[in-house]
Structure 1
Amino acid sequence: MVYCAAFGCNNKAEKGSGISFFTFPKDVNLRKQWAHYCRRKEFIPTSGHRLCSVHFSSNCFMHDPQLLDQIGLQETFKKRLKPNSVPDIPLLTEDEVSSDVINRAKVRGAYSKRQKAEIIEEALSRCEDTAMPESSSIVFNEPVEAVTHQTVSTNNKKIQVELRPPQRTRAHQTNF
């Protein structure tokens, strides 16, 4: 699984996410700039480290991804960086990352289920209160004809189904 090497970035390679991952450049100076951008202590990028496309502005790409998306050609062109491109979208600070982690506390299944049930119950109680007053009544003055007997025809069909899966049998054929 490929993850982004930038500090505070949790992007990972998933199909359909629209995020591309780029290997660190081989040029030493450019590689140092990319590593400095990652803001990780004593970080030395290896061949397995990648940066995601989120950290590059649209002018860093050979083809503008936003323009291609508007035209409808996003799928046909692979995102490629221009030579000497450096990530230029600022990363989150350490305080912003730590507050983001705190705010993103894991929600347990039972808690979220109970919370959804409470919201639905509250919405239904509001709807019942405003739906129709209980003291209202409807009076019809015109006589209404009622049908007392009606015949309904039914058709019964039977289907036979074999529930066991078909099995192959092996037999030996020999000549005497």
Structure 2
Amino acid sequence: MVNCSAVNCKNRSKNNCIFHRFPADPQRRKRWLINCRRINWTPSSNSRLCSDHFEPNQYEQNRQDGRKLLKPNAIPTLFQVPNPPKLFAQSRRSTYKVC
């Protein structure tokens, strides 16, 4: 059974969540760890984060095979911790001048 490694998350593989491995790339892995807010913790090869910690725009859209895969540069931002990380939700900038 797989458990989510995030603080205050009780999701398990039997809860119909998708679980993601920590990235091998050192820079992305460091960013994931910072956002997880786990002090003095190093993820093992079995450590996972569940899909609840990723914004919908962090997943590839309209895949032909119907699978739900993270984008190559996805960073988890949704955590139940004090002072959570900033979201990646992009606001569109208007090209029109407001008078």
TM-score range, shorter chain: 0.7 to 0.9
TM-score (norm 1): 0.43
- C-alpha separation between the residues in 1 aligned to 2:17 and 2:61? 15
Residue 36 of structure 1 deviates from its aligned partner by 1.4
SS at match of 2:43: coil
Unaligned stretches of 5+ in structure 2?
83-99
TM-score (norm 2): 0.73
Residue 19 of structure 1 deviates from its aligned partner by 1.2
With a CA cutoff of 8 Å and minimum separation of 6, indicate the structure with the bigger relative contact order.
2
Count of residue correspondences: 81
**Structure 1 partner of 2:22:** 24
Q: Which segments of structure 1 move beyond 6 Å, counting only runs of 4 or more? A: none
Paired residue for 2:69, among 61, 76, 80?
80
Deviations 1:89-140 (Å, cap 9, x if unpaired)? 24233xxxxxxxxxxxxxxxxxxxxxxxxxxxxxxxxxxxxxxxxxxxxxxx
Spell out the pairing of 1:55-74 with structure 2 (5 A cutoff): 55-63=53-61
**Structure 2 partner of 1:8:** 8
8 Å CA contact 1:4–1:11 kept in 2: the answer is: yes
SS at match of 1:78: coil
RMSD: 1.9
Identity of paired residues, percent?
39
The structure with the larger Rg is 1
8 Å CA contact 1:6–1:37 kept in 2: the answer is: no
Residue 42 of structure 1 deviates from its aligned partner by 0.6
